[in-house]
Structure 1
Amino acid sequence: MVKQRKSQRSMGKQKGLTLILITMVLVVFLVFAAFAVDVNHALLSKTRLQNGVDAAALAAAVKVSAGETDATAQATAIQTISTMYTASGNTEISVPSGSINVQFSNDPQDFSSSYNAALDTYVRVSVADVPLNSYFLSYFGFDKAGAASAVAGPSSTIINACNVVPMAVCADTTSGANDFLGYEFQTVYELKVADKNSTEMGPGNFQLLDFGAGGADVREYLAGGFNGCVDITSTVTTKPGASIGPVGQGLNTRFGDYSGGGVSAADYPPDVYVKEPTTLASTDSEGNVVYDNAWNYADYETESVACTGSVSGDCTDGEGGRRILPVPMVDCAGATGGTTVLPLTAVGCFFLLQKAPDNNGAKDGVYGEFIEDCTITNGSTGVNPSSEGIFRIQLYRDPLSGES
């Protein structure tokens, strides 16, 4: 009897110990489950924060590349983040304005050195200490906070461009000390000639390219609707004929002129600033461009800044940069006229100085000022950085966080 009572007491102690152990294990499981829920939520919130700073950095970099001030770019970045987190699905995240930091640099890998706004600009947008909702961690005395950052800016020179215009200029095969393939910056050139005998492409050519389209497509492509691509290591084919009407109707949408029909403001909005020079450029009897240089791209950049939010005078509610044309630059050596296949050397950037003629009575060409660089909406980049030619705005790996 004594042994039986001892055995019963021992079993009772074991049951009590087992209950304690099970309770402890359940508590541990609950803690891990709580951590799992909150950690997964934190990762989701981190993704949302990263998407926000990515969009903000890209938006700010686009503003800078379009000639806007750093202050405007900074305001754009902050507004983008604010808009992101008032959208459906993101409202549980609230980013305090004091948590947003916007930095500018001339090097995407160094935001601590001196900065010159006149050079290529890269934008870093970061958020820190953003409070995140906690489901269970708060019961254990823990708070959740998120952070994210992104860097955006101009890419290396594009080698495969997908939104060029179907016009071409004859270029040298090499660049000199003060020019790019024979074209001097801040100089006005004739991008499409009015006299078929004055072009190096030979008789019958007016510097148009054949992108496999008729007059209606030429009009749309010059308005900005070409979705094909050109490879600067390949060739292009000339399109004989003047196509004066379609050319003028397409290009002049960039000035808000849709009188020729066939294209609409909804599809092809004007530039934000449509001013033309008081004295228009022209070509003399010897084929030389005549222009007094009283108003040029630098003036456009300065004056168009005042168009932000304004629709009056020469300011519109259009899109910035519509007057910047990515124009193929070809090697015309050996061109014989008619339909000709020419080597593509590069894509140059020209500022559309004035409206193009849109009727056969006009004897003027299309005039543009050669500028250093410009953005395109799509294309693949090479491996060699360059301050000349076309580029696109892209995200870079953030050296301070490893994100993007």
Structure 2
Amino acid sequence: MMSTRIQQPLSAFPRQQRGAMLVLVVIALASMLLMGALALDGGHMLVNKSRLQNAVDAAALSGAKTLSTVMGTTGAATLAQTAALNTLTLNASASGNQELATAIGNNVGGFATVELASTVYGPFSFPGPANASYVRVTVTNYSLAGFFWGVFQTLGNGVGNKFVSAVATAGPSPASPCDLTPLMVCGDPTKNNPATGMFWGFQFGDAQVLKTAAGNSSPIGPGNFQLLDFGSGGSTVRQGLAGGITQCNSVGSNVQTKPGNTVGPASQGLNTRFNQYSGGLSAANYPPDLVITTNSKSFTYDDTLAQIQYNNQAVTSSSGNLSAGGSALYDYNNWVQESANCVAGGGGGCQSGGAFERRIIKIVIGDCSGKNDGASSIPVLGFACYFVLQPASQKGNEAQIFGQFEKVCEGDNVPGPNPANTTGPQIIQLYKTYIDNSQTPSTDS
């Protein structure tokens, strides 16, 4: 007896497989859409993180730069904060940053926090310490449009709102004293104790003769008037006193003195800082200081008494405040306040087209011990920043320059990663942000 074998139609198997394949295709498409959504939102976050960081970096630099120009004056912290927030707002208003501008709205102070500290490691606060020189700008929550972000949130896994954050710290870094003025004061190697405020015999606020006149006893030696040889004669002296040459020296090296008074070129160069021009110099190349205020009478030097005088009275200094015969004189402290007012836009008497700190000159502190006749090689002890008290008044062979010692200008020849912990030539730069006093670096800076 033969059994009947029933065969399944060949077309049934493909129909079953088509159903399974449809499910796989749907899953694959969903996965691709999810990956595309993730790429879209992730890319959106990355772009806005970069834009925010750039804006915060610029804000910190602006705040630190402003702070460096108004440090020690009333409201310095507020001026630095305002500068930082204004810069952040300006960046948000730039093309392509509409989303950032919308997030800031009219409340930039609520969007970003500006804090100050005396060291790059903090602690940061507002208004911060009186000697603050570092500025930190922080944005903790910059909310972004979600696009497909809601899909990830529905999947769980602790996915929160879509936002980015950024933080930046800026402050001073030592730079090279390569804009030296061809002048030198003679320091005392035995009198250098920064802990007590003594630098090679000089203290903050001391009035000093920076260029002697004919008939005065030269601290360097006969025939020298505290000028240095940075090049070819009077022309270099003129440009150097105006601030138009680049000259780099380092502690421990030697500088060459320049014998001769060179009265005319020295006066012509220095006086550009007071908006006085001659000898082919112009304001276009050598702008005046923001503030050119001086005392009504000129300082003089009594060589017999070895004494700087004003109106025939000895000039004395107390915490940078100069006086003569019991009367206060216009000095470095007055100039600092007026300059800060000019930077803040609220001061009178500011020079149109003036430049900040043109009345601050950096000169060599030399070891003039020993006999120094004619052209001499003098060891460099350090560098000093002096506030120029008045224009050089040329009278025959006299063209004395008077300054007020501000600080030492050390510098390490190049800007670097280490924060400036000394005074001197500086630039404002960004630093890694540290989130605690243990110097733990932030991942957002």
TM-score (norm 1): 0.85
The answer to which of 114-123 and 170-179 deviates more is 114-123
1:119 — aligned with what? Answer: 131
Q: 1:222 to 1:37 in 2, by over 3 A?
A: farther
The answer to whether the Cα contact below 8 Å between 2:172 and 2:419 also exists between their aligned partners in 1 is no
Deviation at 1:149, TM superposition (A): 1.3
Deviation at 1:246, TM superposition (A): 2.5
1:224 — aligned with what? Answer: 243
Are residues 1:164 and 2:192 paired? no
Three-state SS of the structure 2 residue aligned to 1:66 is helix
Are residues 1:16 and 2:19 paired? yes
Alpha-carbon distance in structure 1 between the residues aligned to 2:281 and 2:59? 32
Are residues 1:152 and 2:187 paired? no
From 142, 153, 166, the counterpart of 1:130: 142
Deviation at 1:402, TM superposition (A): 4.0
Q: What is the correspondence of 1:332-343 to structure 2 with a 5 Å cutoff?
A: 332-334=368-370, 336-343=372-379
The answer to whether the Cα contact below 8 Å between 1:297 and 1:369 also exists between their aligned partners in 2 is yes
Q: What is the correspondence of 1:20-31 to structure 2 with a 5 Å cutoff?
A: 20-31=23-34
Alpha-carbon distance in structure 2 between the residues aligned to 1:265 and 1:231? 30
1:349 — aligned with what? Answer: 385
1:93 — aligned with what? Answer: 100
Deviation at 1:378, TM superposition (A): 7.8
Q: What is the correspondence of 1:343-382 to structure 2 with a 5 Å cutoff?
A: 343-357=379-393, 359=394, 361=396, 363-372=398-407, 379-380=414-415
Alpha-carbon distance in structure 2 between the residues aligned to 1:4 and 1:51? 70
Alpha-carbon distance in structure 1 between the residues aligned to 2:410 and 2:351? 21
Q: 1:373 to 1:83 in 2, by over 3 A?
A: farther
Alpha-carbon distance in structure 2 between the residues aligned to 1:337 and 1:140? 83
Q: 1:382 to 1:305 in 2, by over 3 A?
A: closer
Deviation at 1:223, TM superposition (A): 2.4
Are residues 1:84 and 2:96 paired? no
Deviation at 1:117, TM superposition (A): 4.1
Q: 1:197 to 1:277 in 2, by over 3 A?
A: closer
2:36 — aligned with what? Answer: 33
Deviation at 1:178, TM superposition (A): 4.5
Alpha-carbon distance in structure 1 between the residues aligned to 2:150 and 2:29? 19
Long gaps (5+) in structure 1: none
The answer to whether the Cα contact below 8 Å between 1:310 and 1:317 also exists between their aligned partners in 2 is no
The residue type equivalent to 1:341 in the other structure is S
The answer to which of 361-370 and 70-79 deviates more is 361-370
The answer to which of 346-355 and 368-377 deviates more is 368-377
The answer to whether the Cα contact below 8 Å between 1:150 and 1:397 also exists between their aligned partners in 2 is yes
Alpha-carbon distance in structure 2 between the residues aligned to 1:66 and 1:185? 18
Alpha-carbon distance in structure 2 between the residues aligned to 1:280 and 1:392? 34
2:203 — aligned with what? Answer: 184
Q: 1:253 to 1:2 in 2, by over 3 A?
A: farther
Long gaps (5+) in structure 2: 154-159, 316-321, 323-328, 436-441
TM-score (norm 2): 0.78
The answer to whether the Cα contact below 8 Å between 1:50 and 1:149 also exists between their aligned partners in 2 is yes
Deviations 1:185-241 (A, max 9, x none): 111101122237632322332222222344334333332333342222422222333
Three-state SS of the structure 2 residue aligned to 1:231 is coil
Deviation at 1:255, TM superposition (A): 2.0
Are residues 1:273 and 2:291 paired? yes
1:204 — aligned with what? Answer: 223
The answer to whether the Cα contact below 8 Å between 1:186 and 1:369 also exists between their aligned partners in 2 is yes
Q: 1:79 to 1:340 in 2, by over 3 A?
A: same
From 78, 81, 87, the counterpart of 1:71: 78
Deviation at 1:311, TM superposition (A): 7.2
The CA RMSD measured in Å over matched residues stands at 3.2
The answer to which of 240-249 and 179-188 deviates more is 240-249
Three-state SS of the structure 2 residue aligned to 1:151 is strand
The answer to whether the Cα contact below 8 Å between 1:120 and 1:154 also exists between their aligned partners in 2 is no
The answer to whether the Cα contact below 8 Å between 2:116 and 2:125 also exists between their aligned partners in 1 is no
Q: 1:349 to 1:25 in 2, by over 3 A?
A: same
Q: 1:210 to 1:178 in 2, by over 3 A?
A: same
Q: 1:72 to 1:228 in 2, by over 3 A?
A: same
Alpha-carbon distance in structure 2 between the residues aligned to 1:381 and 1:348? 21
Alpha-carbon distance in structure 1 between the residues aligned to 2:444 and 2:382? 33
Q: Indicate the structure (1 or 2) with the bigger Cα radius of gyration.
A: 2
Deviation at 1:76, TM superposition (A): 0.8
From 94, 97, 118, the counterpart of 1:106: 118
Aligned residue pair count: 399
Alpha-carbon distance in structure 1 between the residues aligned to 2:377 and 2:150? 70
Three-state SS of the structure 2 residue aligned to 1:21 is helix
Q: 1:128 to 1:386 in 2, by over 3 A?
A: closer
Deviation at 1:99, TM superposition (A): 0.8
Three-state SS of the structure 1 residue aligned to 2:139 is strand
Deviations 1:354-377 (A, max 9, x none): 1123x4526241111111367989
